[in-house]
Every structure is written in C-alpha cells, then in structure tokens.
Structure 1
Amino acid sequence: MTDRPARIVILGGGFGGLYTALNLSRLPWTPAEKPEITLVDRNDRFVFAPLLYELVTDELQTWEIAPPFVELLANTEIQFRQASVKSIDIDRHHVHLDDEGEPLAYDRLVLAMGGETPLNGIPGVAEHAIPFRTVSDAYRVRERLRKLENSDADKIRVAVVGGGYSGVEIACKLADRLGNRGRIRIVDRHDTILRNSPEFNRNAAQQALRDRGVWLDLETEVTEVTADTISLKYREQVDEIPVELVLWTVGTTVAPVVRSLPFEQSDRGQILTNAKLQVTNHPHLFALGDVAATCDINGQRIPTTAQAAFQQADYAAWNVWASLTHRPLLPLRYQNLGEMMTLGLDNATLSGLGISLEGPLAHIARRLAYLYRLPTPEHQLKVGLNWIVEPFRSLIA
C-alpha cells in the first residue's frame, strides 16, 4: 500500500456519476483513507433530465434544472474536469481525455457516461430531427418554436417519434405551448403508447393526449425525414406528411468508447456487472446507469431510468468506499418507487407505493419529489425559494 491517497475517477456527470461522486464525498473517510475524487463530463452543467420539458414551456429556468458542475461541487473536494473520454487503458489504469491534459490515473473507476439517442439508420433523421436529451436539445427546440410562432404560418405541425415517456411528455408540453396553432402527432411502431408503464399512467396519458388533440400514429414506422416532411409507413402504405418540426425520442445507445472496452457486454452494448455494480472480471471497475446491464440481488433487471440511477449511485459510492477500506460490499436491492410524468402545464400523473394521482395535485407532488432529488442542499434551497417567490413575482408583474 502506497502513502498516496487513493484515486477515484468517475466518468459521466449524469444522475449516476454526479450522485456517486457526491455520495462518496459524504462517506466517513478517515484522514488516512481520504481519496482524490475526479468527476469527468464533456458538458459544463449537470442536467436534471425529468424537468427538461419545462425549459420548452418556460416554466423553469436553465439554472434551476441545469446548474454548473463547479457550483454543485464548490463545497466539496471533488475535482471537476470538462472533457470527453478518448480511451481507457484498463491494464495501466489510465483514462485518456481530449483536453490535452495528462491522462487520469485511477485506483477505482466508475463508468456512468449515460446514453445517446441514435439518429442513424433512417434517411434524414440525423440532419433534420432533433433529439431531446440535453439542454442544447431543449434550446434548439425552443428556438425553432419561437421562429415558427413568429412566422405567418397558420398551423405548426410537429411529429414526435416515440410513444414512451419522453415522447408523451414533450408532446403534451408542445400542445399546451402551441395551443390552437399546434398540430401534434406521436409516431410509434407499437400498438400502444407507454406499453411498459402502469395502466393508470397509460390511461391518464391517453386522456391528456385526446384532450389536447394529439394524433397517434401507432404501428407506424418512419422511413424518411426531410427539412419539411416526414414519411410514415403503416402496414404497406407510405405517406409523406408536411411537418415543421420532428422530435426524435426513440432508443438509447452507449457511446462508442464504451463499446470498444474489452468487457462482457449485452446485446445492446451495455457493460455486464454483478449486483454490486462491479464490472464482470474487473472488481476495481464499477458501472451504472445507461451504460450498465445489471441485475440486483433478487435477479431483477435494473431499468435505465432516473430513479434506478439514484439508487445505483448510493450503492456504487458505498461499494467503492468499501473496496478501498476493506469493508464488505453490498449487493443492490432495487425498489420500484413508482412513476411520475408531466402531462402539460400544471398537469401530471403519479403512481406507486399504493398511491395514484393525476392533475394539478400530482403536478405539485411531482415538483416536490424532484425538488427533494436535486443534487445538493444548497441547490434545493435556491430552487425551492424561487418556486415560492415566483408566483408572487408574476402576480406583481
């Protein structure tokens, strides 16, 4: 054992990576055990993804849902490095970044780089469709809407590809923002929206979409996207439909640098781990979130959702700490705490733990639940105070 502190490198600043880093900083390290923790992300801001939809409707501000990493880590000893990962040398325990700095050496490595929305495979998607995963995506959508709203177009036609949570939530937000000018459609290749969600949520979503006049193209595939059309295939018939905006919310893929690693991987390219979140055959490496294929202690496959990443981050931090301080590691016990989704302005649905809510009350409950989940107490306080003051500010204005 050397005299230097252990070096923990965490790749990815999403829910899995950031919350693992923060949890690690709060664990009871002795002065002799205290490690160097470095968090790496290609962006300068953390994104609280479940609230990203509120940027499009101006319900929330960027600083509330996407605070800078340097601000979140200001009261910790966690070092932040903004860079993309070029390669990982498993044998030499080095991470090579694209910022021309020195490679990062590690004793424990946490892989939490999240997923990407695949835009290849269908003509025109990469050039003309907008994914909805980052703050930059939300800005692009908002700017495109602003131009369309300021144009003399009678109708604003939007196609949202994907009938999962993301597609349904953004469709409802867009319908409320555009009002009578909006012509929104959801395109999905399955026979129902939200096919893996509880029936209560699915029924509430279907009603919210009907109330807003959102058209559903189910059992339909996209064959091409151009600057002003989308081609849809239903059974054997292909129709070309005029459209001003296409949002792509389908699928998740892991980054190429992850796929290139010499690990056992799932058919989706995710890294296989044990229930303690250790990479198979590499006990000093941990993986969580979208890049990991993990089953908990009961054999339950962990979904790639925000709430799963929250829970994994608790275990990942504990197990990294335990592996460095010669304590027993804990296998993950995943608890499904239910699901929440926004269904437009001041409307949401919430189900889980024996509770089912929809409407304005669910909207408030969802906001409070996410306020509690914001990364640091300081940020929670700032956002919470703003949510209290903002209605009075708007009333005075």
Structure 2
Amino acid sequence: MSRICILGGGFGGLYTALELSRQPWPEPPQITLVDRQERFVFAPLLYELLTGEMEDWEVAPRFQNLLSPESVQFVQGSVTAIDPKARRVTLGEGQSLDYDGLVLALGGETPLDRVPGAAEYAFPFRTLADAQRLRTHLKHLEAREPAQPIRLAIAGAGASGVELACKLADRLGSRGQIRLIELGSHILSGFAESSRGAAQQALQERGIQVELRTQVLRIEAVDEKRKNDLALHVRRIDSEAMASDPVDAVLWTVGTQMSGVIRALDLPKTEQGRLQVFPTLQIPSFPTVFALGDVAAVVDADGQSVPATAQAAFQQASYCAWNLWAALTQERPLLPFRYWSLGEMLSLGVDTAVLSALGGFTLTGPLGYLARRAAYLVRMPTLEHQLKVGWNWISRPLWEGLLPR
C-alpha cells in the first residue's frame, strides 16, 4: 500500500488530496493531509467575514467535515522537518510520517519582520484567526464612547489591500478614515486595466485615501497602555520629507515568504525562496516529491511563469494528483502542467465586485458580485459543502426579511 503525505491544507494541498482519493488505484493508498489549523480557508472569501456577508463555517469548514477518513486521514500538526532522502516528515508533536509520495503545499506567510513595529502592532490578513482577530479589534473600536473616527492604514495596494479597504469602508461608513499605502506607482500591479479602473472608482467613491510611491518606515505605540493608538511613520519615495500620522490600526498585506521548513530544505530554489520544479510539478532529483501553490516556482508546458494565486493552485491540484498517481503506479505518463487564466475577480465592497474575463468581458457592481459568488461556489471543495453554502445564500435573505426590524 502506497503512503502519500500532503503538507498544507490550502487550495493546493486539500484539492490534491481530494483528487488523489478519486484516482483508480490498484490498491487504495494511505493518504495523510497535514495542516497546522483544523479548518480549510477559502481565502478569496475571507473578506466577507468582516462585513457579515458570510459566516465562519462557510468560508472555513473543518477538514474533518470535508474529508472521508476512509480515503484521506487528516492530522493537525506543525511540520518541523522534511527529509526527502529518508522519505520522512517530522511534526512538532514528535510524530513522524514515512511516505512513498510527498506533496509540498505549505503556502506562504506574511512577512512582518521587514518594518520595525509591524510584528508587534500590524494585523496580517491571511488566515481565519487573522480575520477573527481583526473583527474583534474593529468591534472594540466601534464601541468606543463617545463615537470617534476609526483611522485605519492598509499597507499594500494589491488585491488583498484593495478588497480590505473597500470592505472596511462599507462596514465603518462615515466613521471610517482609511488610507491605502503602496510603494509602487499604481494599485493592483499586474491586473487588467478594466479591473484597476473599477477598483479606482470604488476607492474614490468610498473616500479612501490612496498614497502611491509611499514607504512605511516603522510603526510604534504612542502610549504603551493604549495599543490601538499608533504612530505610523511613512516617507514619499520622491521626497525626503517624512510623516508621522496617528492611526487606530495598521493592516499588513505586503509580501509573501516561505515557511521556515521550506527555507531549510536543501533543494533548488529561486531568489524569492520558492522551490524550483519541473512542469510536471516534480522536484528535481526526487521524482515522487511534488510542490505546488505559493511554495513552487512553476513554468508550465507553454513556457509561461505561473502566478502564485488560488486560481493557479486550484488548477495545479488536478495535475499534481494525476502525476503522483502516475509516478507511483507507473500506469500512465506524467502530464506537464498548463495554466489557463480564467480572468480576475475582486470584491469592491458589500454586494459589489468586478469580474474581468478573457476577451475583455467585464462585469461590475451587483452583477459582478453575483458572478463572483457563483464562480467561487462551484470551486468549493466538496459537493456537500457547495449545497450547504448555496442553500444558506438563498435562505438567509429570506429569513432576514421575515425578522421584525
């Protein structure tokens, strides 16, 4: 019986596990999925938790509810070491897992050590715990008496920063004073002009202050007894002048770094620390070790560099599962990964979004919101979860309409 170990339960890891369990194995393998958290996070919908548009269980279902223990065993634990030569994974709890096939899908982490004070005071936004922590802090700020403006600064104007800014502006309304700070010369670098234009309009309509070519220098507490009263020090790239502005919270969406266990691996990596892989997603010199998602630098069969996005990881999972099955059974040839860009989707506030598809087709506003929701619903990991979430989306407005105001 083959033993397969999958490290990381994000889009790449979880969907690979599900696809592997459906392959025509001569003998069912022992598939083990390892993740630090007990829940899978559908990251593109994490923003909806801040506005109450979705509930925690919809965005972050438990792995135990998504996986059949007969086909995939889930182990909650932290990976501390990987030995490709010995084919062994060590967990922080002292447990070790031997494998015949390995999938590295540990994802990235938000680097908070590049700016003084960020680790102590900034809010990252990547996990369910991050969303819950920020939600709790917002409730604290909203409950202050007398009511005061809520001053938020968001570092990074990529997709995460823009979506956060719009959602928070809609939640806070007239009390929100939101700054979006970007080191580059424009927001949403790498996105289509249609997406960028819709985002710029959404930011402007919500009164969000966009500060381009601006560097965050440090974050510090004005008063150690009042952790939410912060001083944010920034500098314009084209000016020597520096500014220090008071804020109630700093949200950090800048950058991605590999986990310590990936950095410690003696395997070929890019300058950014991502693992180099063949188009089949195999690690060089280890034909039954595969990597995908944020940790892998993938150049597909057509020679294009694959972006580190949820869309790419979702597509890679099918190839990874097939190729690992083919490598272990030797019944079929391995397939080089081919990436198909299906367009871009951004949430731009409550009940509004932009969807830019191939061929220049764009939907914005409520229609974009509905299209985005439908696209994500069909990508949720299991049919059972799709049905539960879909029914909740239909029934919740009906129940809320019947409740007395």
In structure 1, the residue matched to 2:19 is 23
Q: Which amino acid aligns with 2:232?
A: I
In structure 1, the residue matched to 2:340 is 335
Name stretches of at least 5 consecutive residues in structure 1 with no aligned partner: none
Where 1:330 maps in the other structure, the secondary structure is: coil
Where 1:335 maps in the other structure, the secondary structure is: coil
In structure 1, the residue matched to 2:225 is none
Q: Which amino acid aligns with 1:253?
A: Q
Offset of residue 74 of structure 1: 3.1
Where 1:357 maps in the other structure, the secondary structure is: strand
Counting only pairs closer than 5 Å after superposition, residues 28-43 of structure 1 correspond to structure 2 as 28-30=24-26, 33-43=27-37
Question: Are the counterparts in 2 of residues 25 and 76 from structure 1 also a CA contact under 8 Å?
Answer: no
User: Identical aligned pairs, as a percentage?
Assistant: 55
Where 1:373 maps in the other structure, the secondary structure is: coil
In structure 1, the residue matched to 2:123 is 130
Q: Which amino acid aligns with 2:102?
A: L
Q: Which amino acid aligns with 1:109?
A: L
Q: Which amino acid aligns with 1:384?
A: G
In structure 1, the residue matched to 2:372 is 366
Where 2:378 maps in the other structure, the secondary structure is: helix
Question: Are the counterparts in 1 of residues 34 and 75 from structure 2 also a CA contact under 8 Å?
Answer: yes
| Aligned equivalents of 2:50, 2:188: Cα separation in 1 | 22
Counting only pairs closer than 5 Å after superposition, residues 219-234 of structure 1 correspond to structure 2 as 219-227=213-221, 228-234=230-236
Q: 1:92 aligns with which of 62, 86, 91?
A: 86
Offset of residue 34 of structure 1: 1.8
Where 1:283 maps in the other structure, the secondary structure is: strand
In structure 1, the residue matched to 2:227 is none
Deviations 1:288-329 (A, max 9, x none): 000001100011111000000000001000000111111200
* 2:114 equivalent to 1:121: yes
Q: 2:195 aligns with which of 198, 201, 206?
A: 201
Offset of residue 121 of structure 1: 2.0
Counting only pairs closer than 5 Å after superposition, residues 311-350 of structure 1 correspond to structure 2 as 311-326=315-330, 327-350=332-355
Counting only pairs closer than 5 Å after superposition, residues 38-57 of structure 1 correspond to structure 2 as 38-57=32-51
| Aligned equivalents of 1:350, 1:107: Cα separation in 2 | 41
Where 1:232 maps in the other structure, the secondary structure is: strand
* 2:5 equivalent to 1:9: yes
* 2:265 equivalent to 1:257: no
Offset of residue 75 of structure 1: 6.5
TM-score (structure 2 length as normaliser): 0.95
Q: Which amino acid aligns with 1:163?
A: A
Question: Are the counterparts in 1 of residues 288 and 328 from structure 2 also a CA contact under 8 Å?
Answer: no
Q: Which amino acid aligns with 2:231?
A: T
Offset of residue 153 of structure 1: 4.2
Q: 1:395 aligns with which of 396, 401, 404?
A: 401
* 2:269 equivalent to 1:275: no
Question: Are the counterparts in 2 of residues 175 and 184 from structure 1 also a CA contact under 8 Å?
Answer: yes
| Aligned equivalents of 2:55, 2:322: Cα separation in 1 | 33
* 2:154 equivalent to 1:150: no
Question: Are the counterparts in 2 of residues 11 and 17 from structure 1 also a CA contact under 8 Å?
Answer: yes
Where 1:185 maps in the other structure, the secondary structure is: strand
In structure 1, the residue matched to 2:62 is 68
Offset of residue 154 of structure 1: 2.0
| Aligned equivalents of 1:22, 1:75: Cα separation in 2 | 12
TM-score (structure 1 length as normaliser): 0.97
Offset of residue 377 of structure 1: 0.4
Q: 1:381 aligns with which of 382, 387, 404?
A: 387
| Aligned equivalents of 1:150, 1:74: Cα separation in 2 | 43
Question: Are the counterparts in 1 of residues 41 and 128 from structure 2 also a CA contact under 8 Å?
Answer: yes
In structure 1, the residue matched to 2:98 is 105
Where 2:388 maps in the other structure, the secondary structure is: helix
| Aligned equivalents of 2:70, 2:105: Cα separation in 1 | 20
* 2:346 equivalent to 1:352: no
| Aligned equivalents of 2:312, 2:65: Cα separation in 1 | 25
Further displaced range: 233-242 or 107-116: 233-242
Offset of residue 77 of structure 1: 1.5
Offset of residue 258 of structure 1: 0.3
| Aligned equivalents of 1:229, 1:177: Cα separation in 2 | 23
| Aligned equivalents of 2:391, 2:156: Cα separation in 1 | 35
Offset of residue 122 of structure 1: 1.1
Offset of residue 100 of structure 1: 2.6
| Aligned equivalents of 1:93, 1:167: Cα separation in 2 | 39
Where 1:383 maps in the other structure, the secondary structure is: helix
| Aligned equivalents of 1:385, 1:331: Cα separation in 2 | 38
Offset of residue 76 of structure 1: 4.9
| Aligned equivalents of 1:121, 1:6: Cα separation in 2 | 42
| Aligned equivalents of 1:251, 1:179: Cα separation in 2 | 28
